[in-house]
Structures are given as structure tokens and as C-alpha cells.
Chains A and B, each alone.
Chain A
């Protein structure tokens, strides 16, 4: 009786031990640089910053606060509402003392999946591999007062329909599509173009497109979604891109574009400047548009969204690309951004325009 009970308890304990050891070894292996990096990223995924920080190289001058801000974000940036989803690691170079590992990180964010390529330097610290975290440069920003002189449009009378947004009972601002181009890309049909607000008041614009076949029947309907800057100030231009997955240009007779525009309140502040923009190759040899974003005024921008319009030598829009920046823009501080460019188009690009859209948590 007692022997049987002891045997059953031992089996249960062995099973528990097996499950625990299996899980513990999976999460705490620092025998190889790749395993140590995976363990580190597991802690990042779980947002266990203390544990992750303890896996960095001691004495490398890494400020813990800066480390946490780098990985977890701050100032309401996209990183603050992101979590690491998956990672793929590849050893670039390894010696007995150190190793370079490239990690393809997939983040789950509030605006969808974001992909980041990051190179990690691993160092062997008495047989235990650690992450050599680069020390963040100290900010030299000095506090100062900035006057705000930008324009702002308020809607005084909203009309009787309290549940509706915008102003329905006045004529909407004049918006015009100034260019449009339909192309085929990797099995998808893509409608590209630009829209301008020709009025003297700000407006909200969204663009829907319907593909029509040879008989005039609708075969697909899509919208510009986030590939457009929806709020346009007077004379402001925004690119737009509408993707139709799994369609061919050959099956399309025409495209029906239906922009929706409406008068809305808006402000010109914050103005985000784009500096040092240039097209170059990234570490994998892919074409990218790189630059820095700077807020000209005194506001913080929580989540910037960069829209890039690429033109050929005739001034035709040949591609529209976009990317979210996972760091917040603090006043007068440059934050780098990158936007992908199709390699097959890189040679044709003669000019480009960058538009910065943004979301602020205190107002949308």
C-alpha cells in the first residue's frame, strides 16, 4: 500500500521535474553565444528588464535606465506598446572571446507587426556569454522656451448631429487627386497617387478604390487605410497607396476612385522636419531611404509614421512606402528613421518626398 503510494508520488515528482528542467534549461542556457542571446531575448519578451539587464556585460558603462528605455520605450512611443514576438538569430562571426549575432526581431505592436534587424555583440565572461550592450549617448539638450506661432483651425459650430464627427452641414474642403498610377507588384495590383487639399481650411480625406472588370462589375474593393496622411492642412499633399492582393492588371478594365473629404479642426503644430534623407543600402544590401526626424516646435510626438513618395524622371509616382518609428520624437532631438524601397525601382528613382504623419496620445 505504502510502497504503491510512494511509487506514484515519485512518478509524479519525476514528471514535474522533467517538465520544469525542460523549461528551465530552455530559458537559462548561456553556454553558447546564440543560446545566451535567446535567453536574453526571452527576458525581453517577458519584459523582465532586471533579468535582461543582468545578462549584459557588467562594467560596460551601460546605464540601466537607458537600457530599459531602449528596449521598452518611453514617452508614449510605439515601443511602449510593443512586445517581442519572435526572433531569428544568425551568427555573423564567432571567436572564443566574442561573437557577432544578427537577430531578426518581430515585434507585436499596436499598429501591427514590426520587423527589426539588430546586430548584437556577445562577449565571453568567464565561460558565460553576455550581451555587450552599447552605452547610449548622453543627451545634450538644454531646457529652453519656444514660442508656438503655428496656425490652428477650430470648428466653432459642429451642427446638430452630436454623434457625428467633423462638419456635415457645410461644403467639404476641395481635395484633388493630382496623380494616380496603377502597377502590378508581386502578384498584387497597387494603386499609387497623391492627393492635395486645394482649400483654405483643413480637411480629412480617405480614399477607396474599386476595381472593375471588362463588364463593369466590381471585382475588389480596398482603401488607402494607413498608407495616407488623413488630415491635410491647406495646400498640403499626401501620397496614398491602395493594395489589391492577388489581382492582375490584365483582368482590370478600370478603377473607380472615391475620395471622401470632410471639414475638420486641425493644427499645424507640431511640425516635423526631415533631415539628412538619403537612399542607401542596409546591411543586407537592400535599398532603403534613411534620414532623421526632428520636431521643430516644443511638443513631443509619440508615434511618428513616415510616408515616402518616390518619383521617376518624368515626375510620375512609381512607389509609395511607409514605416512606423518606434521612438518618440522629443522637441529638437533628431530620431533616425528608415523606409524600405523596392530594389527593382531603386535605379529609377529620381526624386522623393517624405511626409510625416503622427499620433499623439493626448490627442488623435
Chain B
């Protein structure tokens, strides 16, 4: 059995007594390609909950980069209600391939970046080989699999990947005051914020705090720093970097904040906020599956994370993320998040918890393989593959889109015979709602609620996604009634229904079924007295400078960061050194022949 003794907490620059070859980064990148490449080539995230929304938003950037006003949703809305980075990258890449393929390419790059970031982050805590195992672990994380293939949350994964890389430079800047580290870290952290500011805020806090504490703890380590910076200097430099990144992000995302802080969002049921002890299916979907085999290693993480003084900040960050990830099982998340709690999906905390646990798990893997060799390798490999495969299997058994259908007939109808002179609405299309938006020339009065635009008629009820109005309860249905009442003003003539729940309301309100598609799975309802849609002028004017910053800075930050990282690579040991002379306490007697 493996004894649970203090792990060999790694101090950067400190010599290790183990001579083991490190895993090359190229091999890790190839492993990402081998594992995620085929799944992304199959375009699995395209059917996810958020994938098609990202593709829809990216389409607008591909066509109109500096004009955030998109007429296809909400009868016209500003895309500044949605952080831009990932959509801009998808939009850029779509000039070389299809939008869906561009999305998959960007997602693949994000997973590679996450594996690299995990390696570099783990390197701050454990030795190079363990960090390599941690990076491999990041590829097989169940929580990553859920976010990529089930939730289609490209912004959250991208933001986390950028933030984790940026935090590593925070350590270098705080400890060594290297200007290049400051610059790279700032660029990466700002880019993370422009991908998903909420994720960047919480993610950076969870990853940066243990790193700052570690930098502060390492200040007196002679082996690490010859110049030994004072703890105050370490702290000031760290705070300075985070503050600059925060200020730049606030300025660049200036058009985003008004909608973020002022919109009243209707809460929608989300299993991640359930009490997992009382709701087993939520526990499986939002905790057990994302955690996967990490659950089995929890005792080791607790014992090992607390045993070594230097690993404790990392352990506490993991512990906090773990508690938040438990959703409504504990009262902590509700108390801390306050009014934002009901509009928050807490599964990303489980994602961060698993990422934060990886350095310790990498160390565990290293020990197991060192001790049990091939048996441990096989066992760990099986655990990793099962952890990765479980969410995919669960997704296949419980698809987000229970009854996928072809949207071509719907798009075809809207694009022919001048039907795009009118606006349309879909009800019950689920993840395929945005697919229609991307393909049709016509405009809809609906849109993804996170985009932040509300029609004046429904402002009193809060931000609602009409396509899923029933899920918001009576407020959602009243909001739908309110917009249907004003169908004439919006030119709302066509309603595509895939959920018969909505049919009574349409029938009583004067719509009549005129067509059915997909063997009656989708029906088209029309109203006679609706005039063609009038163009709605932008409701808010975004100043020229803000539009330029919005269009240029996010992509520029990532380009500059990657350019700097490639042009000025950090020196990296390729093998551990053996201390010389060897640390023997007693003289060794050797017989001379």
C-alpha cells in the first residue's frame, strides 16, 4: 500500500532527489489532439446547450466586426451584452472554414492551452514529472468533458485556460519582478476577462490567491531566490498586477457592464444549485460525473494537501471550490453569492476544484507509477479514461436535446418568398434555437438571455428566453403573452412550435397552424393581421472608442501574449538535478581494491 506521508512539495529551483524524465509538452499536446481531436471533429459540442449560441454570435463578428448591433435576435440587440473573445476568434477562423469547424478548432486550442496551463501551474507546487501527470489529468477531467461537450461553455473553458496561464506569470512577477512576466500575465488575465469576466473573476481569485501565498511563503527560501524579495514587495507586486488587469478589463468591457449589473434575470431551475444529498440525479449530473475518479482520491487530497505546508494554500483553494461546487448541499454558496446565486451555474466551481486538485493528483500518480510501475499506469489510465468517458456516456443517455431534428425546413421557409420581411419566434427548440438564428435571414424577437437585451414589453418580468418560457414559470409565460400581444409592432408573424405546451396560448391569441415539419414534430403557426417588421434602431449608442477597444483589445491581447511567450520562452529544466555532494549524513566506507 502507498503510505500517506507528506508529499515532496516542490519548491521551484529546489533540487529533487528523484531522477525521472519529464513528459515533453509536445507529447501532452499530441495527447490532447488524440483524445479531444476526434470528438471535436465529430462536432459533438455543436449539439450542446451553449455551442450553437456561440456559433450564432461568432457569425456576427465574422460579418460585422466593429458593429456590435445584431438585428437577428431581440428584434435587434447589442452583442456587447456577451463577452467577445471566443466569438471573435471563432469569427476570425470562420474565414478559413465553416463556423462550426471554427468553433471546434478554437475549442481544441483552448483544451491544449488548458493542459499547458495546468502543467505550468502544477509546476509551481510539484516536480516536473508530477506536473506532467497533472497536465495529462487535465485532458481527461470529467468536469472539462461536461463543460465542453454537454454545456458547450467555450467562454468558461477559455477564460479558465487563459487565467491559469496568467496566474503562473503572476508568480514569476511577484517573486522575481520580471517585467516580461508582468506583461505576459497581464495580457493573459485581460484576455481571460474578455472571454468570460465572471469566470475570470472567480477563477483568477481561486488560482491566484494560493499562488500569491506560495510566492509570499517562498520569499525566505535561499534555494529559490538569491535576492530574497521582501514579503511586502511580493504582495504589492501581486496586487499591482491583478489591479492593473482588473482596471484594463473593466475599461475594455465598458459596454458589457451596464447590462450585467442592471438586468433583472429570471431564475431558471438548475440542478447545480440543488442539495445533492436530497436530489440524487442532480448529484450524479452535477457532481459525481464531473468529479469522476477524483472522488476516489479525495482522502489523499485532504491528507496530502494539509501535510505539506507549501501545498496548504492550494488545498484551501481546492476546498473552497469544492464547497461551492456542492451547490445547495451547503449554505455557503447561497450566502456568498447573494442575489447572483439564482442566476449562477455552480458546476464550474467543480471544474476549478478538479483543476486545483491536479497538482496533488499528479504527485499521487507519480508516486504510484514509481512504486507499482505498469500496474499503476494501467489503473490510472483506466480511471482517467472512465472519468472522461462517463460524461459522454451520460450525455448519450440523457441528451440536452432529447429529440434532435433538422432545422433546414424551418430555415428554408424563413429564407424564401420574402418571409424574412417578418419576424419569427421558436418555442421549444432548445439548443437548436440558435441554429435557426444562424441560418435564417429573418429576425426573431427572442435571444439567449445571457445576451442581456430585454424588449420593453417584458422588462417587468425579467430577462426571459421565450423559447423556454415555460421553464421560467408564470413570469416566463406572462412575458411570452406580453410579446405576443405586440406581435404587430414587431412584425412577429411566424411561430415555430416544437413543444405542444404552447399551442393553447397561440390558438387563443389568434395564431393558426399552417404547416408542419419533421412528421409533425415542428408546427408553423401564423397570424394574418401582422404587417412586415420595421427596423429597430440601436437602443444604445456605444462610443467609437469603446467599440474600437471592444473589437481590438481582446484578440490583440491573446495574440501579443502568445507572441511574447513564443518569442521569449522561459528557461525550463528538462531534467531534475541531483544535489552535489549527495546529502549523506554519515561518511560512507568503501573498500579499495
Contact = CB atoms under 8 A, between A and B. Distances in A.
A3 to B, nearest CB: 9
Contact of A163 (B485, B487, B515): B515
B329 A20 contact: yes
B176 interface: no
A8 B306 contact: yes
Contacts of B66: none
A221 B530 CA distance: 12
Interface in A107-140: 107-113
A204 B500 contact: no
B538 interface: no
A9 interface: yes
Interface stretch (B79-87, B289-297, B501-509): B501-509
Interface stretch (A77-85, A174-182, A340-348): A77-85
Interface stretch (B367-375, B471-479, B545-553, B567-575): B471-479
Interface in A330-362: 357, 359, 361
Interface in A65-123: 78, 81, 83, 85, 106-113
Interface stretch (B22-30, B51-59, B120-128, B521-529): B521-529
Contacts of B332: 15
Given A22-B331, A106-B474, A359-B504, A16 B277 contact: yes
Nearest to A15: B330
Contacts of B470: 108, 110
Interface in A10-53: 12, 15-16, 18-20, 22-24
A19 B489 CA distance: 48
B350 to A, nearest CB: 14
B474 A226 contact: no
Given A5-B306, A81-B501, A165-B526, A110 B477 contact: yes
B303 A1 contact: yes
B528 A260 contact: yes
A233 interface: no
A112 B477 CA distance: 5
Given A113-B478, A260-B529, A16 B504 contact: no
Residue of B307, B331, B474 with highest tally of chain A CB at under 10 A: B474
A303 interface: yes
A214 interface: no
A9 B302 contact: yes
A359 B419 CA distance: 28
Interface residues of B, number: 54
Size category of the binding interface on chain A: 35 or more
A110 B508 CA distance: 11
Contacts of B506: 364
Interface string B466-495: 000010011011100100111111000000
Residue of B277, B299, B328, B507 with highest tally of chain A CB at under 10 A: B507
Nearest to A172: B528
Contacts of A112: 474, 477-478, 481, 505
B584 interface: no
B275 A361 contact: no
B323 interface: yes
B488 A221 contact: yes
Contacts of B330: 12, 15-16, 18-19
Contacts of A206: 510, 527-529
A165 B307 CA distance: 74
Contact of A357 (B486, B489, B508, B512): B508
Contacts of B328: 19, 23
A187 to B, nearest CB: 15
A23 B503 contact: no
A107 B470 CA distance: 12
A272 to B, nearest CB: 15
B324 to A, nearest CB: 11
Nearest to A322: B508
Given A1-B6, A16-B277, A208-B488, A165 B477 contact: no
A225 B485 contact: yes
B319 interface: yes
B405 interface: no
Given A20-B277, A206-B510, A223-B488, A163 B417 contact: yes
A110 B473 CA distance: 10
A144 interface: no
Contact of B485 (A110, A204, A222, A264): A222
A223 B481 CA distance: 12
Interface in A170-204: 204
Contact of B306 (A1, A107, A208): A1
B513 interface: yes
A203 B197 CA distance: 55
A154 interface: no
Nearest to A6: B302
B365 to A, nearest CB: 20
A305 interface: yes
A20 B319 contact: no
Interface in B327-367: 328-332
B1 to A, nearest CB: 16
A97 B124 CA distance: 68
B473 A359 contact: no
B277 A305 contact: no
Contact of B528 (A4, A23, A165): A165
Interface string B1-12: 000001000000
A166 interface: yes
A165 B278 contact: no
Given A18-B330, A163-B514, A225-B485, A113 B477 contact: yes
Contacts of A258: 529
Contacts of A83: 473
A166 B419 CA distance: 17
Interface string A152-171: 00000000001111100000
Contacts of B242: none
A8 B319 contact: yes
Nearest to B472: A108
Residue of A206, A208, A221, A262 with highest tally of chain B CB at under 10 A: A206
B326 interface: yes
A275 to B, nearest CB: 23
A2 interface: yes
A230 interface: yes
A231 to B, nearest CB: 9
A108 B477 contact: yes
A107 B474 contact: yes
Contacts of B331: 15, 18-19, 22
Nearest to B512: A165
A110 B504 contact: yes
B38 to A, nearest CB: 38
B413 interface: yes
Contacts of A9: 302
Interface in B447-477: 470, 473-474, 476-477
Contacts of B473: 83, 85, 108
A106 B475 CA distance: 11
A119 to B, nearest CB: 22
Interface in B386-426: 413, 417, 419
B275 A165 contact: no
Contacts of A8: 302, 306, 319
Contact of B529 (A4, A19, A208, A364): A208
A230 B278 contact: no
Contact of A204 (B306, B319, B528): B528
A106 B487 CA distance: 26
Contacts of A225: 481, 484-485, 509-510
Residue of A18, A81, A112 with highest tally of chain B CB at under 10 A: A112
Interface of B: 6, 275, 277-278, 299, 302-303, 306-307, 319, 322-323, 326, 328-332, 413, 417, 419, 470, 473-474, 476-478, 481, 484-489, 500-510, 512-515, 524, 526-529
7 contacts: A1-B6, A8-B302, A110-B501, A112-B478, A204-B528, A223-B488, A226-B509
- The 4 lowest CB-CB distance pairs between A and B, nearest first, are A260-B529, A113-B474, A108-B474, A15-B330
